[in-house]
Amino acid sequence: MRDNTYVVIMAGGIGSRFWPFSRTNYPKQFHDVLGIGETMLQMTMNRFKDICPPENVFVVTNKDYKELVQEQLPELSDNQILLEPVGRNTAPCVAYASYKIAQLNPNANLIVTPSDHAVLKQDVFTSVIREAVEAVAKDDILLTLGITPSRPDTGYGYIQYINNESQSIKKVKTFTEKPNLELAKMFLESGEFVWNSGIFIWNVQTILRAFHQHLSDITEIFDEGSAVMNTPEERDFITRAYSQFRNVSIDYGVMEKVDNVYVMLTDIGWSDLGTWNSLYTINTKDEQGNVVDGDVMLYDTKDCIVKTPKDRLVVIQGLEDYIVAEYDNVLMICKKTEEQKVKEFMADAKSKKGPDYI
């Protein structure tokens, strides 16, 4: 089973909600976000060390990040780093990896994971993934990990499942993307919903059949070029292919349309670390409720998250419930309750100040 298990790490995003720490030329997956001496990408790679051999791990990223991946994951060969010429969302990304791995091993079972999530319960995660891989190797199903919600969060997608008390793997009833607060509260109260982790498990043949059924415009292109996968001609083919792909997510293009999609209920200490508030929530706080990463002196300050360069002394007085974030040439100070404006700040910085600030 271990030799037939493959991991696909999606590492091409920019992470705009985490600006100014996450930048176009250095996105958050390449940063030590938690201040533990490992980048998010390295943490993700290490998460699977007891699940599959390192030669079975593939990273899909933008061509501009090739050197960053090589620097942070030197154990990967060039053939394990899949370079997208342009971002086209997660469906083309998953299709690329699936065709490439299917050519290497037609019996492969794939785990598809983002590169910038946190999992705090490693032992539980390893056990869950092993069970999930066994399930998809045996049955023709597409499986996603569902996270037991702890609050009515409007920043996550939700999965409604058909309850079956005897099994941890449930048939999916509906997907809902980022509901409003009232709806999120209803979901939580019903007990029938979990957060969508964005971590998928399936057999490579199962996902390829789903692609052929629901995203035939993508499979027509890959079918023509499947013979050049894992050869020197692959790069030129991918450049041509991506110029024809539309922007579509794996959730919308496949998972929300198939009738063999299931969710495995889990509690793995998961966070998508997509926003400053999610980083605040997952971190240890001081006595005043502050999360601090940097050389910082605080006075009369509480419930803040501060992430600044360690070679710069930062003194803060009188703030409550704020984000203070500095990286490179940008310092941002923003109310935590207004963090949805971060993407707006980033867009304004680009239009008014130029690309050097994004």
Position 165 scores a pLDDT of: 65
* Confidence category of residue 274, pLDDT binned at 50, 70, 90: confident
d(CA 319, CA 298): 9
Position 156 scores a pLDDT of: 87
| Residue with the two structure tokens 């293009």 | 253
Mean pLDDT of the chain: 95
What are the structure tokens assigned to 185, written together? 């509260």
Q: Break the chain into its structural domains and give their ranges.
A: 2-271, 279-353
What is the percent of the chain where pLDDT is above 70?
A: 99
Q: 147 — phi, psi (to 5°)?
A: -105, 125
What are the structure tokens assigned to 308, written together? 């600044």
CB contact set of 216 (below 8 Å; sequence gap of 6+): none
Position 168 scores a pLDDT of: 85
Q: How buried is 192 (Cβ within 10 angstroms: 0-12 exposed, 13-18 middle, 19+ buried)?
A: middle
Average pLDDT for 204-209? 98
Between 168 and 72, the higher pLDDT residue: 72
Helix (H, G, I), strand (E, B), or coil: what is residue 319? coil
d(CA 109, CA 138): 10
- How would you list the strands of the sheet with 330-335, edge to edge? 291-293, 305-307, 322-327, 330-335
Beta bridge partners of 8: 58, 112
- pLDDT per position as a tens digit, 87-126: 999 999 999 999 999 999 999 999 999 999 999 999 999 9
* Confidence category of residue 342, pLDDT binned at 50, 70, 90: very high
Position 35 scores a pLDDT of: 84
CB contact set of 347 (below 8 Å; sequence gap of 6+): none
d(CA 90, CA 11): 10
Chain CA centroid to CA 59, Å = 12
Helix (H, G, I), strand (E, B), or coil: what is residue 252? helix
* 2-271 CATH fold: Spore Coat Polysaccharide Biosynthesis Protein SpsA; Chain A (3.90.550)
What are the structure tokens assigned to 134, written together? 């066994």
Query: Above 70 in pLDDT, residue 166?
Result: no
Helix (H, G, I), strand (E, B), or coil: what is residue 133? helix
* Confidence category of residue 316, pLDDT binned at 50, 70, 90: very high
What are the structure tokens assigned to 245, written together? 């792909």
Cα-based angle 247, 253, 255 (whole degrees, multiple of 5):
140
